[in-house]
Amino acid sequence: MGLLSSNEKSSICPRDTSVPPGVFGSELPNVLQRIYAARGIASAQELELGLDRLPPPDSLAGLSAAVDLLCEALAEQWSILIVGDYDVDGATSTALMILALRAMGYQHIDFLVPNRFEYGYGLTPGIVGLAQQQNPDLIITVDNGISSIDGVAAAHQAGIRVLVTDHHLPGAELPAADAIVNPNQATCQFPSKHLAGVGVAFYVLSALRTRLRDKGWFKERGVEPNMATWLDLVALGTVADVVGLDELNRILVHQGLQRIRAGRARPGILALLDIANREHSRMVASDLGFAVGPRLNAAGRLDDMSLGIQCLLEDDPFEARALAVQLDEINRDRRVIEADMQRAALVHLAKLDLDVEHAPKGLCLFDPDWHQGVVGLLASRVKDRLHRPVIAFACADTYGGDLDSTGSDLKDSGLKDTDLKGSGRSIPGLHMRDALDAVATRNPGLISRFGGHAAAAGLSLPIENLEAFAKAFDAVVSELLSPEDLNRQIATDGELAASELDFDTAQALRAGGPWGQHFPEPCFYGDFTVTQWRVVGEKHLKLTLSPVDDPDTLLDAIAFNTVGDSDAGAGSGDTAFDLPQQISAVYRLDVNHYRGRDSLQLMIDHLIL
């Protein structure tokens, strides 16, 4: 939610919503036809989200070798250890692998999720040493491993085979694993490059099931698992990892949502939804991203993602509920830590006199008291505030001290020789991992290691390199971003006619998804008269609005996290905040479900005063 001054109105950019006649047929509401056209949908066929529309796995590079390896492991009943990442994608990938492999007849399978604070990211030699305590014959990485060159070498030296399944962008050198499946390998011809880690795992397991079926394995056992059983996990990991919702991912998410709405999801997912006060029968994709995902992610950020994985694996609803309660408590702690870090970041920005006009193009922030598990969230918040790529750093270990956010005065800080962990978030126009690669190429030895995506990346470096890194990062970002890139653009689906501002339109939009990354939920722009307003929950605005051109129509609206927004100069509390009689707004149409009754509600993302 944001408050914009009136001179930012030019940043509101309508998407191209022109629709060729007859493309979608006459049954689809006009507003949905415009919205789909603006998202690149060119035919009604692209809106069909049945599983039969999924592309076959054959073109996934390395898939045949991976299935060969897994068949050998099954025939000889190897001991298998799943090594996952410590986020929701990693947790769902791990749970999916364990559940599906067990259902296919694998008898010796376990998982290991590295504690991010002790071992860092990926299959490191340290993780391999820890894994050796379980004597695995095969390690399967999920949602990581594509950059684990040393870790794979260490595993081979210990006599452990390695299957890498990942979706992160590969570096110039690949690990010498026994098999690698990653659609983002340069040689991979798979039609989608947007699969999450859990999507890659799903495809590997689906191909394995087909091979075992062809070999008569399931006929001998008298049972064959249905891969659709675990699409709830695939949907959760896909949405939570904020990968692009291309046609393939929309199918996976849609099918997973169908299972959840029908109550056929994992007990842990249903329990997390219930704790978040979401009715599973009414849920949409955003509920996975904003209700379930953060509660699972909190375990990996503050503690151990093993708790989240156990919640997803648990078959007993009562035990799953108990685990979900623990995850919710950890998430509450995460919120407190994040709020404290945001306040500290704002103090840093104030000291540096940084505003949208004067902020570096690429901004680095650091505080020795920040929690390394939450710096990614902090970077995202500051990025949203300043519309700049931001990297937030924390000490790899817990240290005291006082240091300004550019990393100066290191000699007197007592932090010399400390390693930092950074998490970056980018804006459209800058590929964060590529930017870090450019910094590393121009400044050998400056960064210890890095990896990630276009929108988010992580890195580590010695604290004495922070000041030099901040300058190098700003220089690279300044080269790669144009002035237009630094102008915040708020894309909308244009204005709705007064006749379209109704409950039926809201229902059609809700059912028209799944919406998400690269397939954004529809939002609109309009001018309204404020009939009534009040502050609720200390910082939210509850409003009654009427369209300027239709004063007789009254609309309920809510704008979250508005009062006290420092960007707008508003104070906290009702008496320090006021609204003009007429406003402009960027909003979404929503169906508000309250006490068993559904009603139309405008969810305001931006108020323009």
Regarding whether 453 and 316 lie in a shared domain, the answer is no
435, 456, 480 - which closes a domain = 480
In a domain, 236, yes or no: yes
Regarding whether 394 and 474 lie in a shared domain, the answer is yes
Residue ranges, the chain, pLDDT below 70: 1-10, 17, 19-22, 26, 116-120, 351-359, 398-417, 564-577
Q: Nearest 5°: CA angle at 343, between 338 and 348?
A: 120
Domains held by the chain: number: 3
424, 452, 480 - which closes a domain = 480
How far apart, in Å, are the Cα atoms of 202 and each of 40, 235, 315? 26, 11, 20
- Do 463 and 415 form a contact (C-beta atoms < 8 A)? yes
Regarding whether 427 and 535 lie in a shared domain, the answer is no
The CATH number of the domain holding residue 75 is 3.90.1640.30
Regarding whether 601 and 454 lie in a shared domain, the answer is no
The pLDDT value recorded for residue 412 is: 37
Q: How far is 567 from 145, CA to CA, in rounded Å?
A: 41
450, 480, 510 - which closes a domain = 480
Pairing of strands 597-608, 2-4: parallel
Q: How far is 349 from 343, CA to CA, in rounded Å?
A: 10
Helix (H) or strand (E) holding 586: strand 582-594
The CATH number of the domain holding residue 543 is 2.40.50.460
Q: Nearest 5°: CA angle at 303, between 302 and 304?
A: 135
Least Cα distance to 524 among 14, 9, 40 occurs for: 14
Q: How far is 97 from 89, CA to CA, in rounded Å?
A: 12
Q: How far is 40 from 42, CA to CA, in rounded Å?
A: 6
The CATH number of the domain holding residue 386 is 3.10.310.30
pLDDT in tens, 117-158: 666 678 999 999 999 999 999 999 999 999 999 999 999 999
Using DSSP, state whether 569 is helix, strand or coil.
Answer: coil
Structural domain of residue 221, as residue ranges? Answer: 52-328
Regarding whether 255 and 128 lie in a shared domain, the answer is yes
Regarding whether 59 and 36 lie in a shared domain, the answer is no
Bridge partners of 390, per DSSP, are 363, 425
Q: How far is 80 from 69, CA to CA, in rounded Å?
A: 11
Regarding whether 407 and 308 lie in a shared domain, the answer is no
Regarding whether 438 and 544 lie in a shared domain, the answer is no
User: Over the range 193-218, which residues count as b (16 or more CB within 10 Å of their CB) and which as e?
Assistant: ebbbbbbbbbbbbbbbbebbeeeebb
Please report the DSSP string for 475-528 in residue order. HHHHHH--TTTTS--EEE--PPPGGGSSHHHHHHHHHT---BTTBPPP-EEEEE
Regarding whether 57 and 14 lie in a shared domain, the answer is no
For residue 117, what are the contacts with CB-CB under 8 A and spacing of at least 6?
372, 373, 396, 397
Regarding whether 63 and 18 lie in a shared domain, the answer is no
Regarding whether 368 and 419 lie in a shared domain, the answer is yes
Regarding whether 40 and 59 lie in a shared domain, the answer is no
User: Over the range 142-176, which residues count as b (16 or more CB within 10 Å of their CB) and which as e?
Assistant: bbbbbbbbebbbbbbeeebbbbbbbbbbbeeebbe
